[in-house]
Structure 1
Amino acid sequence: MAHHGPDGRRLPYLAVFGLLLGMFLAMLDGLIVGTALPTIVGDLGGLDHLPWVVTAYMLAGAATTPIWGKLGDLYGRKATFITAIALFQVGSLLSGASQDMSQLIAFRAVQGLGAGGLMVGALAIIGVLVPPRHSGRLQSMIGVIMPIAYIGGPLVGGLLTDHLSWRWTFYVNLPLGAVALLIIATRIHLPPAERVRARIDYGGAALLTTAIVVLTLLAGWGGSTYSWSSPQILTLTAVGILSLAGFVAVERRAAEPIIPPRLFHDRNFTLAQILSFLVGAVMLSVTNYLPQYMQFVQGASPAASGMLLLPLMFGMLGAQLLTGRLISGNGRYRVYPILGGALMIAGALALLPLDVDTAPVTASALTLVIGAGMGLVVQSTTLITMNSADPRDMGAASGTVTLLRTIGGSLGIALLGGLYAGRMRDGLGAHLGPAAADQLAVGGDLTPALLPGLPAQAGDAVRMAVTGGLHGVLIGAAVLAVIAFAASWLIREVPLRDGPPTQAGPEPGTHAATRR
């Protein structure tokens, strides 16, 4: 049966495919780099800067997502979306050509600036092309690409690193983005619309970005690169406090704030944002540092390390799908974040016994528990957020829950990444001496592929040091999961709405898969 758009014509499925491809690029690139990180650090050096390869991309995307949405209202959605893809392509090309870690981090930020407009731009255009009565099928199509990105990202990243180079984890975006650009430029014809005179909250965006960057630096540097009482840390602390205070003040006065303060008057909404922040920290830290263990300690190739993470990914996705179905059936949701927090604690503790002698299949299977816990929390916090917000605030609410998850991931990977690097360097120093430890950890002489060629003593020291670093990450993840578990008990079982507000479609930054 043919479906038709607002003007009576058949819906442009090829155009929609181009839009979905743009969304897929944004989802994929947050995951595809994880299995390549050990090789990247070994090639470029700078273990201490490893978290920023992920964080720079996430921060730039999170900070610019609301601005891209307003730019689309002001200057046209199609032109804005094409601009976002082009900027993402430029960042991908430069990232692949990076010659040192500082360049890679800077170019990842450029890539993230473009990525911030991919999701919001695609959803905005779909909202114009597709009437609400036909949006169900598209919601299902959008829901399918999320698990493909989650499962395919680590696998594709590993395969590209194995058979070509880690640089192709970035170059692969170029042909995909080119196809998306061609389809969108030639197949999407939006009806003329009155331009909205949207007010962009530049002040709030700048203050929020400053606060996030400062907090991330504090998490990564405090107690490791600089002591907590050092002038650098004290200055950063002051800047962070002032930025947060300024952001709150600006949001109270802004005509169209990035995060409307009134949302936090609802207890469940506030708790959902806390849980989203915490699960983001656990999720990004575990999924980016488990491949280090799989490759260095288990001897897995980048592709095989992606395969070994499949239980975690399937556990997460299975929990999300099952939770959505169960909540739709009985309308009760309070138990799921509680259960999710408990499973995250159990999953982190189950991984703590991992050592240099653990069988790869055992290490892989043990990731299932923490994956299921994360899936339960991600799904339930999104649902609680949408149920707690007024219809007029659906867009801001959906953007906020994703923004908080992103900020949590950025801070978590900085804090726990710093702990990982510190424990790894200490472990290498204890067995090989400080000079050899610095040469291996910072000098760029260590990749998983080179590990078998090291002297036996050095190889064993590296394996033990990486295992010790992972244990630090897992202990931190367990602590964050305990906080999430405690906070989830405060959620109240407020009856779900009978149906979604008719005017609230998918909004910027929301994975449709989590809103089924």
Structure 2
Amino acid sequence: MTSHESPNRSGASISDGQTPSRTSSGIAREASCGLQPKETLDNGAIEPTEVIIPVQDIPPRDLRTWQWILLSGSVLFATILLALDNTVVADLQPQIVEAFGEISKFPWINVNYSLGAVASGLIWGKLYGIFETKKLFLSAVLLFEVGSAVCGAARNMDTLIIGRVICGIGGNGLYIGAMNIISAFTSEKERPLYFSFFGITWGGGTVVGPIVGGLFAQSSAGWRWSFYLNIIAGAVLIPIYVFLLPLRWPAPDCTASTWMLITRIDCVGSILFAGSFVSLIMAISFGGARYAWGSGQIIGLFCCFAALVSLLGVQQGKTILTTKHNRILPVQTFRDGEGMFILIIQTACPIGLLFIGLNYIPIYLQFVRSESALSAAIKLLPMIFSAVVFMLLTGSLVERIGYYAYWYLTGSLLAVAGTALMYTINEASSYARLYGYSVLYSAGLSLYIQASYPLAQAQVHPTQAPDAVTIIGCTQLGSIAIFLAVANSIFLNRAADGIQHTLPDIPRNIVQAAISGVDAQIFRDLPGDKKAQVLDEVMGAIQNVWTLAIAVAALSFIVASFMKREKKPAPRIMT
């Protein structure tokens, strides 16, 4: 490929001979912006034509095989760091509380990473649709590294909380950027397999997180190195991104000035969206745990959420201080993508179910079976191995078979069966049952957990592909935050109520701290009969969480029943 050629989305090349009336430098500039040269009419206007083309195998990238393997592997490895950072604090809670005190602020450590990530999700999506991808991706990586440095160097709980927020914001920018990079430089047939890799790396990082945290907590290095580890990894990855990641401008008029591009950001909508999501997650996370459900704080948070959502709807609908094209909510993408709402549901359900299992199977093993955190994480490996195998299977076969609805139907049906069986697990259950049920459960989810990415992009106009990626990416991260917030609320409130009935002399906040893993020694020192009653209450709370999981899996199956029994639509391009 010459310097005047550049691949388009379909894998075809753009060369000087296609548009003789225009300069080769202009063509190269258009190609770097993600455009194809178009025919010029007599009046000078450009006439774009939308066509449906068959899927091609030619990858739209100008990299050698070893360069692409190194680059794509580095991009995927970054998602491991994000997932690891999301769960690494699970085994660091006693050490952090011992170092800083202020146990009342500890829930913010778990919540703020998700808040920063999801609240910034749509903003990152819009930025990746406007600015050059490489520079924006590197900015997100650096922001994530800064957040990690702040967490590692924190001298009080407030600084650590701020660092977690920065990590969440930078991490989501990295994740959305990684999705856009893989989308831009893979062919339609390659893409499902690459997106299955995202699920594998994310699940692997989620499981490895508590292991890494536990190892550092027990080592002489100390818990701070759980965060410094990200800086070391960044020092290795950043040079690869700098030298191998090609420049890519997604905006059609990328020659516009930086200020003109900045003015396209819907600042008002971004603030309203972020505020509404933060209010909702705070209300769910702190309701019944830190504040009573009927308290002024929780009621005020729900009212704030309702008010901000209403204002956001008016601002987006009336395009106040924004335009239809620039508004933060990609309304046009929903209109063009016939099944986008269905894909959002079918993205939210499996990712939420997966993280319920990744969080509550270890809780069962640690509280009910007295396993260590490290041992509990290791016993998740059969579930993770099952997820890896079926994600790879889906990624390699879904494009060949094409009839995507059957993957959703089969996967959600297996998820219903798996979650129902997980509900039956109790103190006397064998490990063989636990392994078998969790494998069935994760296999079902993995059949369709990443399938919505390529399908969403195929349903919309190519210029809306970044918005489609952002919608699905934000749905995944938002669903993790919402489902875990709801599950944690169910678990903490149900367990705390039952344990307080058994141990009325122990204050509720002490009970909740022990359930959260901050200081579980109080349960270990109980006499045998009281300890058995406490375990029964914890087991009942875990079963309540699996009841939620059954309902979510059933919803996914019902929605899958209404999906069209047709092949994945061919991609649309502009010629």
Name the amino acid aligned to 2:235. A
Question: RMSD value over aligned CA atoms?
Answer: 4.0
Alignment partner, residue 175 of structure 1: 232
Alignment partner, residue 111 of structure 1: 167
The verdict on how the C-alpha distance between 1:116 and 1:405 changes in structure 2, with shifts beyond 3 A counting, is closer
Alignment partner, residue 31 of structure 2: none
Cα shift readout 1:61-95 (whole Å, capped 9, x = no counterpart): 23334434555677754443333222211222333
Alignment partner, residue 550 of structure 2: 478
Q: CA deviation at 1:422?
A: 1.3
The verdict on how the C-alpha distance between 1:241 and 1:178 changes in structure 2, with shifts beyond 3 A counting, is same
Quote the Cα distance in structure 1 between the aligned partners of 2:117 and 2:233.
19
Contact 2:129–2:466 (Cα < 8 Å) also in 1 = no
Alignment partner, residue 301 of structure 2: 236
Alignment partner, residue 399 of structure 1: 470
Q: CA deviation at 1:324?
A: 3.8
Computing the radius of gyration over CA atoms, which structure comes out larger, 1 or 2? 2
Greater CA drift, 145-154 or 253-262: 145-154
Contact 2:125–2:470 (Cα < 8 Å) also in 1 = no
SS for the counterpart of 1:378 is coil
| Aligned with 2:498 (options 427, 434, 443) | 427
* Consecutive unaligned residues in structure 2, runs of 5 or more: 7-27, 29-60
| Aligned with 1:376 (options 447, 450, 456) | 447
The verdict on how the C-alpha distance between 1:147 and 1:340 changes in structure 2, with shifts beyond 3 A counting, is same
The verdict on how the C-alpha distance between 1:148 and 1:19 changes in structure 2, with shifts beyond 3 A counting, is closer
Quote the Cα distance in structure 2 between the aligned partners of 1:360 and 1:46.
38
Name the amino acid aligned to 1:213. V
Quote the Cα distance in structure 1 between the aligned partners of 2:526 and 2:563.
54
Does residue 151 in structure 1 map to residue 195 in structure 2? Answer: no
Higher relative contact order (CA 8 A, sep 6+): 1
Does residue 454 in structure 1 map to residue 454 in structure 2? Answer: no
| Aligned with 1:210 (options 267, 275, 284) | 275
Quote the Cα distance in structure 2 between the aligned partners of 1:222 and 1:445.
15
Alignment partner, residue 11 of structure 2: none
Greater CA drift, 108-117 or 275-284: 275-284
SS for the counterpart of 2:371 is coil
The verdict on how the C-alpha distance between 1:230 and 1:142 changes in structure 2, with shifts beyond 3 A counting, is closer
Cα shift readout 1:274-303 (whole Å, capped 9, x = no counterpart): 232233332333322322222233233333
Contact 1:279–1:408 (Cα < 8 Å) also in 2 = no
Q: CA deviation at 1:371?
A: 1.1
The verdict on how the C-alpha distance between 1:350 and 1:167 changes in structure 2, with shifts beyond 3 A counting, is farther
Q: CA deviation at 1:175?
A: 0.5
Does residue 351 in structure 1 map to residue 422 in structure 2? Answer: yes
| Aligned with 1:301 (options 362, 366, 372) | 372
| Aligned with 1:219 (options 278, 284, 287) | 284
Alignment partner, residue 262 of structure 1: 332
| Aligned with 2:540 (options 421, 446, 468) | 468
Quote the Cα distance in structure 1 between the aligned partners of 2:447 and 2:191.
24
Name the amino acid aligned to 2:301. L
SS for the counterpart of 1:442 is helix
Greater CA drift, 159-168 or 410-419: 159-168
SS for the counterpart of 2:339 is helix
Quote the Cα distance in structure 1 between the aligned partners of 2:108 and 2:355.
12
Alignment partner, residue 509 of structure 1: none
The verdict on how the C-alpha distance between 1:228 and 1:32 changes in structure 2, with shifts beyond 3 A counting, is closer
Cα shift readout 1:112-158 (whole Å, capped 9, x = no counterpart): 11112223445666788x6x67x988996775465244235413641
Alignment partner, residue 150 of structure 2: 94
Quote the Cα distance in structure 1 between the aligned partners of 2:400 and 2:182.
29
Greater CA drift, 192-201 or 259-268: 192-201
The verdict on how the C-alpha distance between 1:386 and 1:14 changes in structure 2, with shifts beyond 3 A counting, is closer
Contact 1:34–1:287 (Cα < 8 Å) also in 2 = no
Quote the Cα distance in structure 2 between the aligned partners of 1:474 and 1:219.
18
Contact 2:195–2:450 (Cα < 8 Å) also in 1 = no
Greater CA drift, 67-76 or 411-420: 67-76
Quote the Cα distance in structure 2 between the aligned partners of 1:390 and 1:495.
18
Q: CA deviation at 1:400?
A: 0.6
Q: CA deviation at 1:320?
A: 2.9
Name the amino acid aligned to 1:259. L
Name the amino acid aligned to 1:264. F
Q: CA deviation at 1:273?
A: 1.1
- Give the number of the structure whose residues are more often helix, by fraction: 1
Quote the Cα distance in structure 2 between the aligned partners of 1:14 and 1:120.
22
* TM-score normalised by L of structure 2: 0.73
Name the amino acid aligned to 2:474. L
Q: CA deviation at 1:249?
A: 3.2
Alignment partner, residue 514 of structure 1: none
Name the amino acid aligned to 2:123. I
Name the amino acid aligned to 1:269. M
Contact 1:220–1:418 (Cα < 8 Å) also in 2 = yes
Contact 1:337–1:488 (Cα < 8 Å) also in 2 = yes
Alignment partner, residue 82 of structure 1: 138
SS for the counterpart of 1:497 is coil
Alignment partner, residue 274 of structure 1: 345
Quote the Cα distance in structure 2 between the aligned partners of 1:194 and 1:121.
21
SS for the counterpart of 1:466 is helix
Quote the Cα distance in structure 2 between the aligned partners of 1:166 and 1:315.
31
Contact 1:96–1:170 (Cα < 8 Å) also in 2 = yes
| Aligned with 2:411 (options 336, 340, 353) | 340
The verdict on how the C-alpha distance between 1:246 and 1:280 changes in structure 2, with shifts beyond 3 A counting, is farther
Does residue 417 in structure 1 map to residue 482 in structure 2? Answer: no
Greater CA drift, 160-169 or 488-497: 160-169
Quote the Cα distance in structure 2 between the aligned partners of 1:360 and 1:448.
27
Q: CA deviation at 1:416?
A: 1.2
Q: CA deviation at 1:461?
A: 5.1
The verdict on how the C-alpha distance between 1:104 and 1:241 changes in structure 2, with shifts beyond 3 A counting, is same
Q: CA deviation at 1:259?
A: 3.0
Does residue 496 in structure 1 map to residue 549 in structure 2? Answer: no
| Mapping of residues 121-200 of structure 1, within 5 Å | 121-122=177-178, 144=197, 146-155=199-208, 157-162=210-215, 164=219, 166-185=223-242, 190=247, 194=255, 197-198=260-261, 199-200=264-265
Greater CA drift, 41-50 or 211-220: 41-50
Greater CA drift, 325-334 or 478-487: 325-334
Quote the Cα distance in structure 2 between the aligned partners of 1:367 and 1:38.
22
Quote the Cα distance in structure 1 between the aligned partners of 2:427 and 2:199.
33
Contact 1:48–1:442 (Cα < 8 Å) also in 2 = no
Contact 2:316–2:329 (Cα < 8 Å) also in 1 = yes
Contact 1:88–1:115 (Cα < 8 Å) also in 2 = yes
Cα shift readout 1:444-475 (whole Å, capped 9, x = no counterpart): 99569958963443654554443233222211
Alignment partner, residue 60 of structure 1: 116
Does residue 315 in structure 1 map to residue 386 in structure 2? Answer: yes
Quote the Cα distance in structure 1 between the aligned partners of 2:95 and 2:540.
19
Matched-pair identity in %: 22
The verdict on how the C-alpha distance between 1:119 and 1:241 changes in structure 2, with shifts beyond 3 A counting, is same
The verdict on how the C-alpha distance between 1:264 and 1:217 changes in structure 2, with shifts beyond 3 A counting, is same
Quote the Cα distance in structure 2 between the aligned partners of 1:46 and 1:288.
24
* TM-score normalised by L of structure 1: 0.81
